[in-house]
């Protein structure tokens, strides 16, 4: 997951930057490729987070985190507003927002539970 700095892993810092960038957005990007490229620029320009050799973090590296970030974000919002934690609620929110897995497959509770993000959610 990346080395820890101040208790945060690299991926934690990517997530926090992603969430801040999402809050500033006025519209959704056209694709995950475009979103990852925007996040790469944001990390470099606004957060000073860079990859190897001081270059911006590659969009290809960031793209793999976008779906887990979206799912985690929905779960975190649910946790703020409800004592009940339900993967089914997250599945419904994903469907309502058009969030899908690879090849536009719907997100299911089994998909979330079997993914690395599901392991993180079950520990919280």
Please report, for residues 29, 91, 94, 106, the alpha-carbon distance to residue 15 in angstroms, rounded to integers and kept in the order given: 17, 20, 18, 23
Question: What is the reported pLDDT for 1?
Answer: 42
The neighbouring-strand residues paired with 8 are 5
Closest CA to 91 of 118, 116, 65: 118
Contact 19, 66 (CB under 8 A): no
pTM of the model: 0.84
Q: Which tokens is 74 given?
A: 């929905």
The C-alpha torsion from 30 through 33 and 37 to 42, rounded to 10°, is 70
Q: What is the pLDDT of residue 82?
A: 81
pLDDT in tens, the chain (124 residues): 455 557 899 999 999 999 999 999 888 777 889 999 999 999 999 999 999 899 999 999 999 999 999 999 999 888 888 877 789 999 999 999 999 998 999 999 999 999 888 877 777 6
**C-alpha span between 41 and 93 (Å, rounded):** 28
The pLDDT assigned to 41 comes to: 96
């Amino acid at each position: 997951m990346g080395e820890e700095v101040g208790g945060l892993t690299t991926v934690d810092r990517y997530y926090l930057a992603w969430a801040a960038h999402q809050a500033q957005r006025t519209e959704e990007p056209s694709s995950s490729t475009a979103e990852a490229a925007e996040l790469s620029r944001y990390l470099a320009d606004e957060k000073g987070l860079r990859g190897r050799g001081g270059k911006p973090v590659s969009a290809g590296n960031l793209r793999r985190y976008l779906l887990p970030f979206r799912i985690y974000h929905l779960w975190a919002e649910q946790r703020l507003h409800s004592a009940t934690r339900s993967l089914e609620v997250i599945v419904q929110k994903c469907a309502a927002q058009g969030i899908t897995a690879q090849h536009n497959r719907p997100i299911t509770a089994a998909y979330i539970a079997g993914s690395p993000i599901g392991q993180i959610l079950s520990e919280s």
